[in-house]
Structure 1
């Protein structure tokens, strides 16, 4: 990412760290911890907020009007649906063959119909994010001519999306209901990109007071999900503005691998949660959670660093790179 996106690069690294922390649960007791509840209060809204920011950053007003729908969506199929098809299928085989049905939220059987269900209606675990983001891109690219209008219509559109997410019927197909819900945060990310200078000026003027205040509010685990998510996003923005000028190049380079970490961290974390934890029941579960976090973040990065050296060797290696977010 360019120099202007140092802040957003940091935010993607931060959000990815939160995801790996959230997935480091070994037993259900982990979900009673403050850190788990805090992470889940805002980490996914933050991801969609950042995706909306990048959408507007990549397509400013002059480019948005000339954006062609089908070429744009073809890129999103490669970026989102190909990894989804591959990784969701791999996890499907593992879970349907080796995990007892009573341990799964949506039980799987090793059959074609169950696989189709996992692809179109009930993605496995964290994989719901990919079809959800794809549907959001469909929605916003169709409405691209109305994105850069006056601020009142923009804010009205975001508020309408929030309202729709609470009143519309549940539609599981391709995560449509979930996409509507997170579209509001995606829209907020677009607004932040458009009005970034003004918003940052306000945040920086009172940065330390707002940083401490937003963290205190966020850390108190507000019972209102929408408010908790918005406060968490504000906290993340202020943190990124404070850290931005102090960020080392190495930290920013990590943002090149955040998508790969998101896609592949499940596998080392599943290995720790399953066979390793069951083989050593006497070991403290929170020690395993720490191991899960370290391996879940570091192994995909190590894989990405090594794979980038051979990625362009031929068509096959480039295709595999697409499947794992490189």
Structure 2
């Protein structure tokens, strides 16, 4: 993959991880989330994870031409290290913290409860203490099946994945089935986008006229705002219409982000986005620990009930995850493996492995 493509993908991941970071900082945990923050979070959630799965598909483009007999098992092994080793590491750490707190509060867990914790982690990842790790779990399953299903004709694969996206109900959490069904289509679109756009240039997005980009941007913003308004205000509409709107938000949100990247390509802010994109895995995995410390500090210790102060504190303290990772965790080979799934010693000039690589 050329350096220019890598840079552009890092820009997109930079925006995406900022959205994840903001969404987690504006949590309703500890303090009720005001309406304006709720609306902001629903805007973010309408497309930001779809964007990550789309990028994951682009970065996994080699599965389209994979020789299953020769390469599949080695491929799965590498993805297990990359995705599931961090998943298990963070899950064990968070569960261990819960066990310690319960011991301190004289509420020790029984053997049955401990077994249920492990069962939840393995089979129902969204229901666990660190439910946000569902992304790594779901992405591993999608990547594992993608070399198999992409051997089928593209029309069948995309049609079936679209139907799964719209018609599979939410909250089927066994093996993260609902998440898998919803996000598979974006991953596959990323795969085929890589093949037909980045490789063969059959789709030339950059040649789209300024007027067309403006119209698409306005439509994207209107659609995302409309959907977010429905969710925020809990307006009752038929579930399959809502699912279709959700799917379209993902597609138009992805397009909107690429239009924004193209628009700001000459600004210095891209250097910041590229940096954040490179450390997206670090932010995704570690920011929660710093943000939860901020939440406890503000709402419980300092007893501050102002949500804006709560939110800003979560952003500021949460951002400490980057220097913690860069100057401590990544200095040790064992931590790079356990927390980021990195196997080989990086060279002096090698950039950190970012989310979706």
TM-score (norm 1): 0.82
Residues of 2 paired with 1:31 and 1:188: CA distance? 34
SS in 2 for 1:68: helix
Per-residue deviation, 1:176: 2.9
Could you tell me which residue of structure 2 aligns to residue 150 of structure 1?
none
Residues of 1 paired with 2:313 and 2:297: CA distance? 14
Could you tell me which residue of structure 2 aligns to residue 178 of structure 1?
179
Could you tell me which residue of structure 2 aligns to residue 268 of structure 1?
290
Could you tell me which residue of structure 2 aligns to residue 319 of structure 1?
337
Per-residue deviation, 1:252: 1.4
SS in 2 for 1:131: helix
SS in 1 for 2:13: helix
Could you tell me which residue of structure 2 aligns to residue 64 of structure 1?
66
Whether 2:219 is the aligned partner of 1:213: answer: yes
> Quick one: structure 1 residues 284 and 167, their matched pair in 2 at CA, closer, same or farther if it must change by over 3 Å?
closer
Does the CA-based 8 Å contact 1:203-1:238 persist in structure 2?
Answer: no
Whether 2:8 is the aligned partner of 1:28: answer: no
Number of equivalent positions: 305
Which sections of structure 2, spanning at least 5 residues, go unmatched? 103-111, 231-244, 343-351
Per-residue deviation, 1:142: 2.2
Could you tell me which residue of structure 2 aligns to residue 78 of structure 1?
81
Residues of 2 paired with 1:31 and 1:44: CA distance? 22
Once the two structures are superposed, what CA deviation does each residue of 1:70-94 show, in whole Å capped at 9, x if it has no partner? 1111111111100000101112233
SS in 2 for 1:244: coil
Whether 2:58 is the aligned partner of 1:53: answer: yes
Once the two structures are superposed, what CA deviation does each residue of 1:29-71 show, in whole Å capped at 9, x if it has no partner? 2466321110111111111111111111xx286x534771111
Does the CA-based 8 Å contact 1:264-1:300 persist in structure 2?
Answer: yes
Whether 2:302 is the aligned partner of 1:300: answer: no
Greater CA drift, 282-291 or 200-209: 200-209
> Quick one: structure 1 residues 323 and 291, their matched pair in 2 at CA, closer, same or farther if it must change by over 3 Å?
farther
Please show how residues 1-326 of structure 1 align to structure 2 within 5 Å: 2-24=3-25, 25-26=27-28, 27-30=31-34, 33=37, 34-56=39-61, 59=62, 64-65=66-67, 68-95=71-98, 97-98=100-101, 111-121=114-124, 122-123=127-128, 124-146=130-152, 153-168=153-168, 171-196=172-197, 197=201, 198-201=203-206, 203=208, 205=210, 206-221=212-227, 223=230, 224-247=245-268, 248-296=270-318, 298-307=319-328, 310-311=331-332, 315-320=333-338, 322=340
Residues of 1 paired with 2:116 and 2:262: CA distance? 48
Does the CA-based 8 Å contact 2:12-2:273 persist in structure 1?
Answer: no
SS in 2 for 1:29: coil
Greater CA drift, 73-82 or 29-38: 29-38
Does the CA-based 8 Å contact 1:31-1:37 persist in structure 2?
Answer: no
Once the two structures are superposed, what CA deviation does each residue of 1:126-183 show, in whole Å capped at 9, x if it has no partner? 011111000001110223444xxxxxx4244222112124445775332133212211
Residues of 2 paired with 1:309 and 1:115: CA distance? 28
Give me the CA root mean square deviation: 2.9
> Quick one: structure 1 residues 92 and 275, their matched pair in 2 at CA, closer, same or farther if it must change by over 3 Å?
farther
Could you tell me which residue of structure 2 aligns to residue 102 of structure 1?
none
